[in-house]
Structure 1
């Protein structure tokens, strides 16, 4: 990769990281590309060099956040014994929440945005996670894998709500 290509990849990543922070802090609709540019220490036109619209920037940010979850879960699935799989996936999701709080806040917001492209990205992320977990549960011989997958996903959504509302007591069980 040429130096300018590597710089472009890094700048694109910096812009996405800044967008995740800004969108999580002030909300997608209130956030501006100028705020994102300022957070990334670049000019606003430079944001548009990589992302034609604010929605395109949001879609890229959501894809990054879903990729992080999928990759983390994939590693757990590939390296964890069947009897520890579900518990390890839960711990990994708690770890993702702790380390990438803004990405979770961004996903929570995106669930309420009605634009088709955003809905499609959110549906795609949930589907990919669901299929990975369901397949892993089936292969691990977990009883009632569909039900366990649904409960796993429901627990994740509840974890997100607890995070957003700052109500850790929702997770005490």
Structure 2
């Protein structure tokens, strides 16, 4: 008896391509990732991929948007009813869940590398900056924190990104002064809200 295949809607297929591209770009970077590799990951043809996204750059920018918007959604859902330092702590805890998914962490780093390269133009960089401002504004609005507190939150986050990306082990002196001891303290990443 033939196995029935489940058909995805166009929106579901598009989302699956974007998620596969996050994984691929996270590992290979913009220049080291081919659209064929992404098509292979998701199980579609390269021509079909180009029907969904007109170019590799358009696919990369969709992956950037996905990465940042998923982070915004996690921050918006974290610690309902909390404000100030308690809310910042809840957002930080939620962020550990995000970066325990190594692809999400590395994709963030690839965003910064590619945004500073010649692969993107000024309009592309402005689009990424608008997304990043949305992330910043979400933290500020969600927590009611002032500029200095939001700056500190993001500064700590970037330090944590660096330490986790480098694989600095739990208990290393570089983790001193942070609320957590290291990557082994991070919870397993669950499903991201959609």
> Which TM-score bucket, shorter chain as reference?
0.7 to 0.9
* 1: CA distance, partners of 2:48 / 2:68: 25
Q: Secondary structure at the match of 2:9?
A: helix
Structure 1 equivalent of residue 159 of structure 2: 158
Structure 1 equivalent of residue 191 of structure 2: none
Higher relative contact order (CA 8 A, sep 6+): 2
Cα offsets for 1:96-131 (capped at 9, x unmatched): 111x32122112112122313442233123211211
Runs of 4+ off more than 4 Å: none
Structure 1 equivalent of residue 187 of structure 2: none
Structure 1 equivalent of residue 107 of structure 2: 106
Question: Where do 5+ consecutive residues of structure 1 fail to align?
Answer: none
- Calculate the aligned-residue CA RMSD, in Å: 2.0
Question: Where do 5+ consecutive residues of structure 2 fail to align?
Answer: 1-5, 178-194
With normalisation by structure 1, the TM-score equals 0.84
* 2: CA distance, partners of 1:119 / 1:152: 23
Cα offsets for 1:62-98 (capped at 9, x unmatched): 1111111111111126x14225211111101111111
With normalisation by structure 2, the TM-score equals 0.76
Q: How many residues align?
A: 163
Structure 2 equivalent of residue 38 of structure 1: 40
**Higher helix fraction (1 or 2):** 1
